[in-house]
Chain A
């Protein structure tokens, strides 16, 4: 499917998010830029603490409650970063929705799922009571919850983890948003359920013509589901482009390392490959390339300057002075 002719609905430009802890500035997100078109799925991958979740939270206006967010998030001709809370509130949930990692805590345990679905509908639609109820049943049905009408009266603890994540998706999508931010929506679920939930998200994204930003640390998930991929490390995007191209010929040594550490198609008792070392602490980033201390193809300039994200082919960007030219991972 070619996306070239589609205009992006979300454009993130030079997004920076900084938190302050004990008088020190922590640059959680640095110079992040990407765009998402309708019906397109962007995968955001990286280790824990690489800034994936903070990027999502910065887009939807959660991060600015705790830190400084600068840059631009263009959405339908306006900038979400500069938008006052009062105006942003009408975009949240209605035009942009978000689902979370932990289905056990992302629903209010004291209210029935019916009430929580209706709450979303009351906030974002003009539907009357009866219509809201019908729509709530329809949404639960849509996300694949059996005997939806009865289950509206159930409390979150009466659902399994996977079912709760379905409820969460129903609530998030009740108002027909055009962008879904999914923050590791399957990480807390069983492997078999993971695939079901991903399929559900993708199917709904297609049906509702919705853009999706999918945060995950699972490259296998990305390979199956995403159109584009952005790899994050220490708050920066180090490589991005169409999924197939990136996975077929990764340019950044970190991407190569990530792909090598996916345990697939290996004979038994092969030691797992991993990227040596640990990500740098955000308050003590190296002066040069943030990945240099762990990088096997580190060269002299890497220690002096930070490589900028540059186009290497038509639609691919890599931030590296010494990009890998002929690497093979075991995902693509």
Chain B
């Protein structure tokens, strides 16, 4: 027998998470999507707005893998350039809602009282309506366009983050470290933002991933309806809308951006699942 000391090897959390194929696929999809969004010029074979009347509505071929649209623009290039807009949507339509929701949720969860009661009514009022209906209503007031769309989604979306954060902060308050912070005489701000928030934010981060997928879907829907990105900008919803009248003759016009939406949404969902595993507290 050797006198080697037995030390139970504990694989790191990250390594454990990376054993899940779903998480890896999610990382790859989102990683590649981010690359496409950052450097569309490198990946796109053509100028997305270059019109070629001699090659209108061509089916997929070696020269145009996704075919061409009714103005002869290369569909693949347009789908790739759309990554810029749609990935930006995923971030900009959610990040402000995330920040506002986390702060508001942490505050009402910590202080409770009247603010919490009012917050509860606001939540009730907002979740009574389907998300899309509320957003369309706000866009209708503000006018169509990407910026207004971000404002509209933020105005509605923060509520979902806030109620998640509130519930988690209240759960964390049940742990004695919160009470210990109070009896140590620490300021409320310190207890909320240094102690409670980092412990409570995990589910919010996971939800954020899912929400980015939803934001892309929502942004595309609004683009399709003409309330979001405006043509001739390349955006998946806009592209699908442009192809909808030719669905029986030029199916690729709507299908390709549709696949991009599905793929990116899938990527964010897998990433969210993986993160949930990674961040879940272990006994």
Contacts and interface: CB of A to CB of B under 8 A. Distances in A.
A106 interface: yes
B182 interface: yes
B186 interface: yes
Contact of A92 (B177, B184, B198): B184
A181 B181 CA distance: 14
B8 interface: no
A88 B185 CA distance: 8
Interface in A239-268: none
Interface in B143-196: 175-177, 179-187, 195
Interface residues of B, number: 16
B184 A171 contact: yes
B199 interface: yes
Contacts of A181: 183
Contact of B186 (A60, A107, A123, A172): A123
A101 B177 contact: no
A109 B185 contact: no
Contacts of B281: 109
A107 B198 CA distance: 14
Nearest to B186: A123
Contacts of B175: 105-106
Contact of B176 (A65, A102, A111, A119): A102
Instruction: Give the interface SS of chain B, mostly helix, strand, loop or mixed.
Output: helix
B188 to A, nearest CB: 9
B183 A97 contact: yes
Nearest to B283: A157
Nearest to A99: B180
A107 B195 CA distance: 10
A107 B179 CA distance: 10
Given A108-B199, A109-B199, A110-B199, A91 B177 contact: no
B177 A108 contact: yes
Contacts of A120: 184
Interface residues of A, number: 33
A119 B182 CA distance: 13
B179 A89 contact: no
A62 interface: yes
B125 to A, nearest CB: 24
A88 B186 CA distance: 11
B177 A123 contact: no
B187 A89 contact: yes
A109 B177 CA distance: 9
Given A100-B180, A102-B176, A123 B185 contact: yes
A119 B195 CA distance: 11
Contacts of B187: 89
Interface string A111-132: 1000000011001100000000
B185 A105 contact: no
Given A110-B198, A110-B199, A105 B176 contact: yes
A92 B183 contact: yes
Contacts of B199: 108-110
Given A62-B179, A106-B176, A106-B180, A119 B186 contact: yes
B198 A93 contact: no
A124 B186 CA distance: 9
A98 interface: yes
A98 B175 CA distance: 15
A186 B183 CA distance: 19
B198 A168 contact: no
A90 interface: yes
Nearest to B187: A89
B177 A106 contact: yes
A105 B183 contact: no
24 contacts: A57-B179, A62-B182, A89-B185, A89-B187, A91-B185, A93-B185, A93-B186, A94-B185, A97-B183, A97-B184, A98-B183, A100-B176, A100-B179, A101-B176, A102-B176, A105-B175, A105-B176, A105-B177, A106-B175, A111-B195, A119-B184, A120-B184, A123-B184, A124-B185
Interface of A: 57, 60-62, 65, 88-94, 96-98, 100-102, 105-111, 119-120, 123-124, 168, 171-172, 181
Per CB-CB distance, the 7 closest pairs between chain A and chain B, nearest first, are: A92-B185, A106-B176, A93-B184, A105-B175, A93-B185, A100-B176, A98-B183
Given A101-B176, A123-B185, 9 more contacts: A62-B179, A89-B187, A90-B185, A91-B185, A105-B176, A106-B175, A106-B176, A107-B177, A108-B177
Interface of B: 175-177, 179-187, 195, 198-199, 281
